[in-house]
Structure 1
Amino acid sequence: MPEKKIQHWTGSLADSVYALYETANEYRTAHRAAEVAATTVDFVRRMTHEGRISIEGPTTAFGRASTRSPHGQALTVLHRLYGTVESETAGRYEEAALLYASGAAWAVRAVLDGKKPPVVAFRVDDHGDPAPHSMDIPGLDTWVDGPALDAAYNTLQRCMQAAEYGEHLADQDYVSDHEAGEMHHALDQARGLADAAFAYGLLAQRAVSFSLITARRARESELAQAHAAKQPDQPTP
């Protein structure tokens, strides 16, 4: 049986971050599809066919046969189903995007601190699920994409703060008219949280590659030296 090749920590760490990207992107794609599906049965935009069917047995209060609209009933059922899927995928996408963004940020900080983590590590919450890390990535002032990373970070922070504030107001026993307006504004802004986290994650993932350059070059040098050491001495002409 051939010997299994052990992956260098720089490769496995990059793969770990990429797996977080793939996960977030899967939910992102699923949520987009659910949104499109929901629009196909939107009663505001969709005409319901007027044709009806008769149901034998039960009658109305006037003794007439009971009828119903099969097309309208189908749209009602699908509207409920698609709405459930849209809501579920939205939550999953947001969770995965936050893990992706914070996991990539964690990886960059770890490498810049001189650590060699083989994979991204998360703590767990009270439910045993991975909990996001902090999002900040200091020490990349000289990186060409540093300004874009900072801008994406600021956008993400605004969305996270809006979500926290909106949820805080929603949990209150009493909300004034002014606070209700602020709550709805905050929750509207918070709806962009998943996309903001995903966008930040894309830049943070590129920052992972940037932070690994030195370690990868050192690894390439080690491999080259090891290969040269295995070569037989060449005779002097």
Structure 2
Amino acid sequence: MPKKPAQHWTQSLFDSVYALYETANEYRTAHRAAEVACTTVDFVRRVTHEGRIGLECPSTARRASTRSPHGRALTVLHRLYGTVESETQGHYEEAALLYASGAAWAVRAVQRGERPPHVVFRVDDHGDPAPHSLDIPGLDTWVDGPALDAAYTTLRRCMDAAEYGEDLAGRDYVSDHEAGEMHRALGEARSMADAAFAYGLLAQRAVSFSLITARRARETELALARAAAQTDQPTQ
């Protein structure tokens, strides 16, 4: 089987960023599905069938009782779906931040004249990748620069709200006013995953923009190589 030719760094770097997009989108889709599942067992929206079943315990220590099987099913599923929703939310947020910061890292690397074949993350004490800085300077002349700046501002606001809310939640005592501020901040922080994903989409486009010069140089290099190969071929 012939060996697959190595990718040019511009392509492998873009593929690396795109893989981060696919990862975040998988968790985004899963989280949306979990949210929908939660709504299907929402007690506010569902009518629980009032039919009951009898329960007899062989032990004399417990008296016979009745139970609503439908209500119990909704309770179990509400707890189950809630757990899945919470976990997928966490994974989605983590993946979206890696996607956004990874794309931002790629742009800054290209701006510095580097040629990384893929996005590189440092790992934490658990061996998990840690997000990079999210800012992308030097794109004032790019047509999507204003949209990128606006998306960054939205994401930064969500991150600041999360930090503020978590700080208040970790205190031994909070006043009524602070409790209200904590819930407001944590509520705003729940939009962090979507904000990071939106910023990542624009940052990914910024990666393509930053690679234009390198890709054109590669196309020229390939064209010259093809022309040289044709010149070297013997005439019939």
Normalising by structure 1, report the TM-score: 0.94
Q: Percent identity?
A: 83
- Kindly report which structure 2 residues correspond to 1:213-224, keeping only aligned pairs within 5 A, or say none: 213-224=212-223
Structure 1 spans left out of the alignment, 5+ residues: none
Q: Is the Cα–Cα contact under 8 Å of residues 58 and 66 in structure 1 kept in the other structure?
A: no
Deviation at 1:234, TM superposition (A): 9.1
Match of 1:176 in 2: 175
- Kindly report which structure 2 residues correspond to 1:79-118, keeping only aligned pairs within 5 A, or say none: 79-118=78-117
Match of 1:27 in 2: 27
Residue type of the partner of 1:73? Answer: R
Structure 2 Cα separation of the partners of residues 229 and 151 of structure 1? 48
SS of 2:56's equivalent? strand
SS of 1:12's equivalent? helix
Deviation at 1:125, TM superposition (A): 1.3
Change (3 A) 1:117 1:174: same
Structure 2 Cα separation of the partners of residues 164 and 34 of structure 1? 25
Structure 2 spans left out of the alignment, 5+ residues: none
Match of 1:3 in 2: 3
Deviation at 1:90, TM superposition (A): 0.4
Residues 99-130 of structure 1: CA deviation (Å, up to 9, x unaligned):
00000000000001100000000011122110
- 1:143 and 2:142 are equivalent in the alignment: yes
Change (3 A) 1:59 1:71: farther
- 1:124 and 2:118 are equivalent in the alignment: no
Structure 2 Cα separation of the partners of residues 206 and 146 of structure 1? 10
Residues 63-117 of structure 1: CA deviation (Å, up to 9, x unaligned):
6x42211111111110010000000000000000000000000000000110000
Residue type of the partner of 2:122? Answer: R
Structure 1 Cα separation of the partners of residues 185 and 143 of structure 2? 33
Q: How many residues align?
A: 235
Structure 2 Cα separation of the partners of residues 105 and 86 of structure 1? 28
Normalising by structure 2, report the TM-score: 0.95
Residue type of the partner of 1:43? Answer: F
Deviation at 1:56, TM superposition (A): 3.2
Residue type of the partner of 1:41? Answer: V
Structure 1 Cα separation of the partners of residues 107 and 135 of structure 2? 10
- 1:15 and 2:15 are equivalent in the alignment: yes
What RMSD over aligned residues (CA atoms) do the two structures have, in Å?
1.9
Q: Is the Cα–Cα contact under 8 Å of residues 24 and 100 in structure 1 kept in the other structure?
A: yes
Residues 194-235 of structure 1: CA deviation (Å, up to 9, x unaligned):
000000000000000000000000000000111111113699
Q: Is the Cα–Cα contact under 8 Å of residues 162 and 187 in structure 1 kept in the other structure?
A: yes
Structure 2 Cα separation of the partners of residues 196 and 36 of structure 1? 20
SS of 1:67's equivalent? strand
